């Protein structure tokens, strides 16, 4: 598989209370003009006293600060308050001295569809600034139709929560005449055995009436759960809820096993994306995915802002060493998917008293070629440190902090240091790292002589002519070329060797003066057929995939 190589290294709160409306700025007397002065973004929100919108407010201020623009935040006292939002637009008209970049607008509609849409649209058109719609979709016929929208895909959220519930017979509670009913109906498309109970402002009596009929209870309006929580805990019922509320996070952190998890709308991500859209002049919005909160992923990037909002510290993971046991494949660094040539394998094992590790990696840039080297492992709360002496005399230290294990996903903040003779020769991080668990163990499946064809989704890397590759039990290999219909050894290649760890196949060889490295993932291997793939990068950063199709030569 040496013939195709394109290797690129991927790097292993101002909270304002709401009366009628409130504007939070650095200087409330500083007005906003369209063309000059301090750059600013205005958000016209609603229901400022609700946690959901307080989270949006907090994220809005943070995102504006990070982008060096002033946040002009306005909110209202209740849901159907279009008149207050019209008053906010009138206040914006009076402001001068700031360069208004755009408006983030959360529509509020009265019983007959009354809104401030027309006033917002007219003001934005007059100033020549964009309007980004957030959280609440526009009504049909709105003059703001076509504006980028950032919100929650409520049907997808309902279905996703259903996928987290093991039981088919489930009691589902959702407030009447609310978006929660829509989410709950989507839940039932996945769990048709669920029974939906529409309720009012609280659900304690409705829960009490059916408490002995179900083991699993789902609440689509989180606040409905508050009055019924003690009863559900007393009965040891399994509880799932939609949206994050402080008391539910307390239940998760306390480790009450009956409280299974929270499906959360990404308010912080939503506001941040809206600010970025204003500054980028975005023409398209997106549905911002929900995420599921459990005790095991409280240090995930999506969850941390909620804990900070409620001033809650994530606990240490119980039995972290036990949860780490398994084979983990390096998948992402700082949210960027890794190319195959930059992946490594970390295998944790336990003898019942101590956690052990072995690591396999092959990196051309640093000349690293390591087949299952075994570092010393230390676990301290949520932190893991692995230290190893490598064959070339250098010392490798991997620091894993804020470790979070959830199912087949391992997240941590990673920092790696490589030293030799007392000098740092490589330092990496800190970056947010993501590993995925693999149950694949191909052992030494490549032994023998194989004929290989290469295919790719990029025609440049197609190879119509086959090659042959001989893999020996001692880890060495030889490559052959077809010359005049005869297979002859490729004499330009020396020092060829390989090894396999789990789903990863690592190979290197010397060609002229250069040592070449390639990593592959074994997709399938049976009955004398094998398919390997490698995701790589073009110079412009786009990716392509090469497939090595191997057939055993008898």
CATH of domain 154-264: 3.40.50.2300
Average pLDDT for the chain? 86
Q: Phi-psi region for residue 528, left (φ > 0), alpha (ψ -120 to 50) or beta?
A: left
Q: Is the pTM of this model over 0.75?
A: no
Domain 21-151+269-287 part of CATH 3.90.330.10: no
Instruction: List pLDDT tens digits, range 179-193.
Output: 999 999 999 999 999
Span 146-161, pLDDT tens digits: 999 999 999 999 999 9
Instruction: Return d(Cα 244, Cα 35) in angstroms, integer.
Output: 40
Least confident of 192-196, 213-217, 223-227, 457-461: 223-227
* Residues 11, 68 contacting (CB under 8 angstroms): no
Structural fold of domain 448-552: Lipocalin (2.40.128)
Per-residue pLDDT reduced to its tens digit, 344-353? 999 999 987 7
State the pLDDT confidence band at 316, using cuts at 50, 70 and 90: low
pLDDT above 90: residue 531: yes
- Closest by CA to 336, choosing from 8, 6, 65, is 8
pLDDT band at 10 (very low <50, low <70, confident <90, very high): very low
**21-151+269-287 against 320-438: fold identical:** no
Give me the residue spans of the domains in the chain. 21-151+269-287, 154-264, 320-438, 448-552
- Per residue in 502-523, pLDDT (tens digit) is 999 999 999 888 899 999 999 8
Rounded Cα distance between 458 and 446, Å, is 26
Compute the distance between CA of residue 93 and CA of residue 247 in angstroms, rounded to an integer: 41
**pLDDT number for residue 508:** 93
pLDDT band at 4 (very low <50, low <70, confident <90, very high): very low
pLDDT per residue over 50-67, tens digit each?
889 999 999 999 999 999
Residue 14 or 513, more confident: 513
| pLDDT for the residue numbered 443 | 59
Average pLDDT for residues 423-430, to the nearest whole number?
82
Specify the CATH number of the domain 320-438: 2.40.128.30
Identify the residue with better confidence: 314 or 326.
326
pLDDT of residue 437: 93
Distance (Å, whole) CA 96 – CA 41: 13
Cα separation values, 150 from 54, 221, 277, Å? 17, 21, 9
- How far CA 62 is from CA of 21, 105, 268, 305, in Å, comes to 21, 17, 9, 11
């Amino acid at each position: 598989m040496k013939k195709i190589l394109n290797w690129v290294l991927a790097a292993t709160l101002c909270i304002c209370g709401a009366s009628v409306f409130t504007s939070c700025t650095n200087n409330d007397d500083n007005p906003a003009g369209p063309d000059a002065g301090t750059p600013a973004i205005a958000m016209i929100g609603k229901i400022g006293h609700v946690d959901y919108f307080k989270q949006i407010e907090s994220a809005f201020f943070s995102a504006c600060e990070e982008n060096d623009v002033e946040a002009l935040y306005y909110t209202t006292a209740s849901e159907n308050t279009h008149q207050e939002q019209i008053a906010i637009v009138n206040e914006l008209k009076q402001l001068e001295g700031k360069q208004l970049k755009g408006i983030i607008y959360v529509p509020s509609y009265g019983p007959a569809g009354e809104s401030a849409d027309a006033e917002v649209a007219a003001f934005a058109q007059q100033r020549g600034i964009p309007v980004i719609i957030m959280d609440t979709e526009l009504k049909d016929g709105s003059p703001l139709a076509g504006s980028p929208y950032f919100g929650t895909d409520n049907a997808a959220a309902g279905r996703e929560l259903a996928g987290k519930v093991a039981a088919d017979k489930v009691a589902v509670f959702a407030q009447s005449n609310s978006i929660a009913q829509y989410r709950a109906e989507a839940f039932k498309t996945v769990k048709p055995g669920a029974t939906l109970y529409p309720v009012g402002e609280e659900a304690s009596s409705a829960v009490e009436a059916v408490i002995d009929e179900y083991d699993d209870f789902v609440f689509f309006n989180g606040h409905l759960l508050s009055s019924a929580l003690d009863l559900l805990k007393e009965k040891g019922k399994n509880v799932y809820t939609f949206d994050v509320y402080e008391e539910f996070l307390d239940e998760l952190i306390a480790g009450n096993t009956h409280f299974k998890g929270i499906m959360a709308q990404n308010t912080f991500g939503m506001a941040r994306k809206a600010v970025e859209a204003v500054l980028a002049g975005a023409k398209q919005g997106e549905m911002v995915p929900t995420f599921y909160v459990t005790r095991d992923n409280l240090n995930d990037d999506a969850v941390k802002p909620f804990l900070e909002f409620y001033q809650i510290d994530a606990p240490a993971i119980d039995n972290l060493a036990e949860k780490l046991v398994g084979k983990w494949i390096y998948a992402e660094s700082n949210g960027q998917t890794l190319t195959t040539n930059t992946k490594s394998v970390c295998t944790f094992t336990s003898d019942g008293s101590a956690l052990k590790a072995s690591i396999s990696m092959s990196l051309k840039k640093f000349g690293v070629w390591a087949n299952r080297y075994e570092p010393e492992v230390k676990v301290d709360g949520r932190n893991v440190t692995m230290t190893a002496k490598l064959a070339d005399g250098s010392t490798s230290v991997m620091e894993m902090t804020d470790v979070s294990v959830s199912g087949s996903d391992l997240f941590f903040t990673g920092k790696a240091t490589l030293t030799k003779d007392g000098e740092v020769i490589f330092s990496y991080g800190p970056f947010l790292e993501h590993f995925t668990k693999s149950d694949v163990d191909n052992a030494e499946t490549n032994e023998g002589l194989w004929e290989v064809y290469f295919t790719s989704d990029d025609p440049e890397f197609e190879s119509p002519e086959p090659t042959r590759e001989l893999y020996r039990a001692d880890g060495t290999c030889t490559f052959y070329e077809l010359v005049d219909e005869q297979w002859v050894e490729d004499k330009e290649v020396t020092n060829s060797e390989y090894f396999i760890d789990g789903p990863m196949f690592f190979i290197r060889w010397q060609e002229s003066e250069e040592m070449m490295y390639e990593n592959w993932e074994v997709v399938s291997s049976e009955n004398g057929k094998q398919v390997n793939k490698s995701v790589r990068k073009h110079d412009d950063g786009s990716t392509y995939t090469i497939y090595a199709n191997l057939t055993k030569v008898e």
